[in-house]
Structure formats: C-alpha cells, structure tokens
Structure 1
C-alpha cells in the first residue's frame, strides 16, 4: 500500500512528478522485486487522498473532471517511471498497480465520507485487506497521512461501528424505491492494463458522482465484447476468454471500490442468460449498495440501445464518434441522449521529455497502452 497525500490543486505533469515521483519510483522497484519471486503479479495499491470527494456534488458529475484528471496523471506517471526502469506494469506478469480514491482532507484521521462508496482513511484501516507493507511520501503531507492511517488502524475494532459503511441488504428491484443511477462503459478489456483501469475507475466513480441521495444504491453496466466478435482481432489466439476478462474486470472494481470489513459478506455474483441481445451477463452485488453488471456484447452498441434507463456513457477521448453514434441511435428510438464523459488516453509524451526538451528512452513505450501489443508479446 502506498499512501499519497492530496495532489497540488493545479498540478501539471512536472509538479505531480516532483511531489510523487521519487516515492512511486522507489515503491515500484520494491514491488517489482517481489513479483520476480511469485507466479502472480505483485499488487501495488495506491491510496490517493482527494479532499474534494468529502464534498457532496451540487449537480451530477460535478467532481468528475477533477477526479479524472488527477487519476490519469497518477497512472501516467506510473507508466513513465516504470518505462524508465524497465518495470512491467502492463499486464499480470509484472506489477498490478491500482489507484484507490480516498476521501481525506490532509489533516484528520476521522473525516466522515458523504457517501459509503468512497472509502476514507478509517475504511482503509478497518477493511479486511492484509497489506504486506505500507509506504508513505517523505514530506509533511505524506507523514500526516501515514500518521492518520496508523491512528485509524490502531483504533479499529471489528464491529459495525468501526466504519461508516453500512450493509444495505437491498436489491436493485426493491432497494431504492425507484430507478438507480446508472452509468455504462464498453470495451474488450483483454489483458487488463492501466488504460482499462483508468476507464473502469472513472466509470464507477461517475455513478457515485450523482447528486442522488447518498444512501441510494448505484448501478454500473460494463459491456465486454463477446468472443465471437473478436475472432478476427490481431493475435486472436492469445485473447483471453470472455469469462476471464469479466473476472479481471470484477476483481479490479472490487479492489478499488469495495472495502468490506471482516464481519461483512463478500460480493455475490449471479450469471444470467436471457433471450435476445445482451442477454448473457454476470450481476454482482456489493455490500455497500453498488451493483455491477458485466454484459456480453455482440455489436458496437451493446446495452446502450437495449436499456433505456442508463444515464451516462464513459468513453476514451479517441472514441468520441462511438459516443455520438450511441446517442443518435437512442434518439432514433425516442430515448433520451446519454451524458457522455471522457477519460484521457494515457499518452506519456508530456511526461517523457528530457530537461533539454528532447525525447527520452520512454518514447518506445508507445503513445498509448494497447492490448494488441500485450498479446503480441
């Protein structure tokens, strides 16, 4: 676990690197060494303190852009530093890096969260996770965050009062007395990499950034391309199966947004098969009231044109045309257009120039991370 204190308010890539770079680089090296002695990837969870998440949104997606920017900057910095030191963060054979949003203001160890979906320092401390090591940033803010975590950890009692999170015991049909806020995303999600992680993190965050009652349950639909649609992909023989890709997506969402205490039940999943398009799915319920539906899709539109009650669609900046096509189709059907929210493409160019302004050895990292390149290797 690496605890990162709040980022500078107007931090560009150079400032972010100056604040976090040395700490991230050092910890990446430590974790990479550990991964060499294991058949599985070593996991590095980066708890990123975000004071703005302690405030309730005044309107839907009010905090989205700020959150998207800082998470993208952290993942971009991880990619840049890993490339410089030849550390594999691209797939499960190396270091599995996960950025976790944490509601913390940089001072107290007991900030209350306005929603049960964004963990606080107390939630990290009270969770059932067993981190082998915990690291902090060597500056005043970093030391304050470490102290807050240690204080929270020492005061944890394994009771329901130890955390502000509550098990709702509700179902999508009966829990909220009405329609759940719902956000969707689609993709192949083959050999889950950092670009996918950014996309998934912001998809789940977007549905939490709804001005609905903070006690309302939330629903996320993740369309995962079916095997049949991928048979003509490059290096198709190395594609993961739909079920393997779905499992990787579920594991990542659970790792970044579900911090159950030992006395709480683990997420429960149900596989469903219905007639018609998008009928095959795996539905997962988390104890904090988040519902995740992983749908097998066989066309470019997926559930966005078969489920009217979706509120927003998350896309990468390079797939704007796809977002427009979805909304055109929905309007043809007499449905409301979706709010379309973007995530950055993790181009490392801005963070990989030398002091003289020339290119560095990380230029061959590729302009963006690619599942095709991972399969090729």
Structure 2
C-alpha cells in the first residue's frame, strides 16, 4: 500500500520543542488516529516546509545540521509520545495497527511561492533535501493526504495542489483536513539571518542494532543523511553512507533475544526507511526497489548512483570506523557519544585521517506537554519494549 502524506505548515520560530509541540501535535495525532488500522500497517510521511537550504545557486546549497537535526528530533519525540499514549506501534513494518511515521524536510520559502512551471530538480544540490516542486513530482502516489486547517496550513495546501495539478493527477477524494495547533512565538522575533551552515561529507558513518526500527533509529539515520555531500550525476562521483549494523552473535544476550530480528531483516528495514529520504524519480514510489538481503553486507545505490549505502555487519565496538580511511563524519546519539570519542582515539592510533563527530539529540519529553502514560515514552518505544510486546503476543497466541 502507498504511504500517506501529512503536509504540515511552516514551523514556529524559534524551533524550540514546546512551540513545535503545540503547533504540530494535534495534526500528527489526528493523522495517526485515522491511519491506525487493526487489519494492516500504515506508513505516514510527514513533510515539513522551511527555508532549510542556503547557497549561491540552486545547485550549490548547504544547511544548518544542528537546526535540522533538532527539529527532526522534536518531531520524532512528538511521534513517540502520541504513539505511546495511543498504544500504536511506530516501528518500520510494525504489523497491524502500526503507523510508521517518517519525517521529510522540504526546502520551501514561506514568502515566495513555487514556480508551477519549474521542472523538478532531481539533479544534486549538494544536499539530500529537496525543494517543494521536486517533492511533489517525485513523492507519489499517496493513499491519503492530510492537510492542516490553519491559515498557514491552507497556504501550503494550496501551493501543493497547484503543483500537483500540474505534475500529476490526484484523487481529491483522498484529502483529509486535520486540526492545527496553536502557533505561538517566544518574545520578539529575531532578525532574519542565515544560520551557521554545516560542511557536508562525501563519506559519513553511523552504527547501531536497528532492531525493530523505531523513531530513535529514524532520527539517527535521518541525521546522517543530512550530512551527505551529494555530487552531480555528470561528475561520475559518489557519496557514501556507511551503516554499521550489529551482528546477530552480539545480540544473543539481549532481553527477549528470541524476538530479535535477524541481521538481514534489520538491514532491509534500514534500507526501506532510507529509500524514503534518498530515492528521487518521476516514477515516484514505484522506483524504490529494496533488494532481499542474504549475506552479511550489502550495497544499494539511490539518486542515479550518486548516493551509495553500504550496510556492513558489526562484530566489535568499532566496526568500519577504524579501518575505512574515507570516512570523515561519524554520527552518534547523545547516549553513545563516549563510544564516538573512543573511535576517534582508535582511529588516530591506526594512523587514519581526522573524522568529525556529530551528536544527535536523544528523544525525550523535555519541553513537550506530557501527562499520564505518555511520561517515560523514551523506554516505551525502545527495541527492548517492542520485543517484550511481541513476546507477550506470541505467548498469548500460543494458548489458542
């Protein structure tokens, strides 16, 4: 089944967690409630428009990585809170009642509408973030499209529809209006300035177990994607995203180990998720082909071969980070930063070049409105909790 779309309005300024929460949570919750189905799994792509990219031309752009990852972290924290309070599984391929939410940043200016005659820019702009024209032309078809009943929500919906009518035929019966939240501002608005931009990298790396790919994993993978320096097709060059995925033998002592997904399953889920962020084609989602993973390493290419994903099995605490001289960026979570420092030290000992460390926010409820069973959602969306739930379900089914 094709995914559904939630088209959000522009985020409040500044992007602090509380303001984003009160602005976006009602819309996200309404879409999740609508999609959670006892008979099937659903996928919801949440598109967030903002002026994320800056640069001298359309083909030479940069973004502020701290700003982007912080906004994505807040959104996945909101998703975690909602899914916990509604008892809706949020992992990739989560089965009946699950809603697999995926956040996609879309470069678009609030002040300047899109040119409906413009061609989609599938050619690289040095980043993985696309503009609204390209998003509409390449992210399709949709099962349902949710739009927000606010002034800014109506503006984005109108711009989306104008482009959609030009680029593709949409079943307007699939449009659903969802409530918007309060858009508040914290004090005086700051002057419009270009944020400090981040140097992107041709080879970035991260590692994890990625068992039952949940919002925390999605944040980590998305943060790494936003560090990639994507070369133009005509250059013949490639950027590379190295994903170290913990081998099965290192997980045998995990709680509820009998429910741990195989390395192959976890790898396929990683690739499935990354395809949402990386593949661009006028054929839309039909162009996404996730291969069946059989060995202990796999390589997949997106965007006409300019983005290479190398999934490799991790059999120790370092993985490829201390042997691959091309890696120049390592993404870690706030919980694993100490391990990242160890990697940098080991890399120096091995005589390899420098590597920049990027720390991603930990999903939490700080700054968000929480009550009742929503509190402590960080542990409730963890892989261990998901395995426990599945073990209980298997035990219950075995009784019948």
Same fold (TM over 0.5): yes
User: Do structure 1's residue 65 and structure 2's residue 81 form an aligned pair?
Assistant: no
Scaled by the length of structure 1, what TM-score is found?
Answer: 0.81
Q: Is the 8 A contact 2:205 2:244 kept in 1?
A: yes
2:301 is matched with 285
- Cα drift, residue 265 of structure 1: 5.6
> Mind listing any 5+ residue stretches in structure 2 that lack a counterpart?
170-200, 390-400
* Number of residue pairs matched by the alignment: 338
Q: Does 1:239 align with 2:260?
A: yes
Render the CA deviation track for 1:279-323: whole Å, top value 9, x for unaligned.
x42011113421111011111100101101101000000111110
| Residues 261-300 of structure 1 mapped to structure 2, 5 A cutoff | 261-262=282-283, 266=288, 280-288=296-304, 289-300=306-317
Report how far residue 366 of structure 1 moved.
4.0
Query: Quick check: 226-235 or 182-191, which moved more?
Result: 226-235
1:326 to 343, 364, 386: 343
> 2:225–2:241: 8 Å Cα contact kept in structure 1?
yes
Secondary structure in 2 aligned to 1:207?
coil
**C-alpha contact (below 8 Å) 1:76/1:347 kept by paired residues:** yes
Mapped pair 1:363 → 2:363: no
| Structure 1 counterpart of 2:34, from 27, 30, 39 | 30
For 1:129, the equivalent position in structure 2 comes to 140
Question: Which piece of structure 1 moves more, 62-71 or 259-268?
Answer: 259-268
Please identify, of 133-142 and 107-116, the stretch whose mean Cα deviation from structure 2 is larger: 107-116
Counterpart of 1:351 in 2: which secondary structure?
Answer: coil
Task: Structure 1: give runs of 5+ residues left out of the alignment.
Answer: 159-179, 274-279, 354-358
Structure 2: distance between partners of 1:120 and 1:126: 10
Q: 1:346 to 1:8 in 2, by over 3 A?
A: same
Q: Distance in 2 between matches of 1:304 and 1:368?
A: 30
CA offsets per residue over residues 177-202 of structure 1, 9 Å max, x none?
xxx81000000000110100000011
Instruction: Please report how far the alpha carbon of residue 9 of structure 1 lies from its aligned counterpart in structure 2 after TM superposition.
Output: 2.8
Q: TM-score, normalised by structure 2?
A: 0.77
Report matched runs for 1:87-102 at 5 Å.
87-90=88-91, 92-93=94-95, 94-102=98-106
C-alpha displacement at 1:213, in angstroms?
7.3
User: What pairs with 1:182-221 in structure 2 (closer than 5 Å)?
Assistant: 182-208=203-229, 217-221=238-242
Runs of 4+ that moved beyond 6 A: 212-215, 270-273
The answer to whether the 8 A contact 1:185-1:222 is kept is yes
